[in-house]
Structures are given as structure tokens and as C-alpha cells.
Amino acid sequence: MKDQWNRKIDYIRISVTDRCNLRCIYCMPEEGVPSIPHEEILTYDEIVRLCRCFFKIWY
């Protein structure tokens, strides 16, 4: 898979929580992000399904 600049995408980063406090530059700006209601966060089964779908794309 390639991005809009034709760079090869060979990994995926999936956040399993919106409550992370590591302040990673990839997903947490200095001002923070609003919390998401629990019912709007992906379930474990949905995350696993996404992982399987991406695996099929790459392999």
C-alpha cells in the first residue's frame, strides 16, 4: 500500500484507548484531545477485525 506521496506503508499504528498519557507526537498534541465516550470507541473485536483486514492487504 502507498500513501498520497507514493511512499510505501509497511506498518500500522492502532490506538486502543483515548486515555493514553504518553504524549506521543503521533497522536497527542500539547493541548491534548477531548475524551471520547466509551460507546464510540472501537471494541476489541472491531480492532481485531481491522488488524486482519490490513494483514490481508499486505500479505
Query: Ramachandran region of residue 31, left (φ > 0), alpha (ψ -120 to 50) or beta?
Result: alpha
Q: Which of 31, 3, 27 is nearest to 13 (CA)?
A: 27
Write down the mean pLDDT value for the chain.
Answer: 82
Looking at per-residue pLDDT, the higher value among 23 and 52 belongs to 52
Using alpha carbons, select from 25, 4, 26, 2 the residue that is nearest to residue 14: 26
User: What's the predicted TM-score (pTM) here?
Assistant: 0.60
- Look at residues 4, 14, 2, 7 and name the one whose alpha carbon lies nearest to residue 53: 14
Q: What is the mean pLDDT of residues 35-57?
A: 88
Task: Say if residues 58 and 41 touch (Cβ distance below 8 Å).
Answer: no
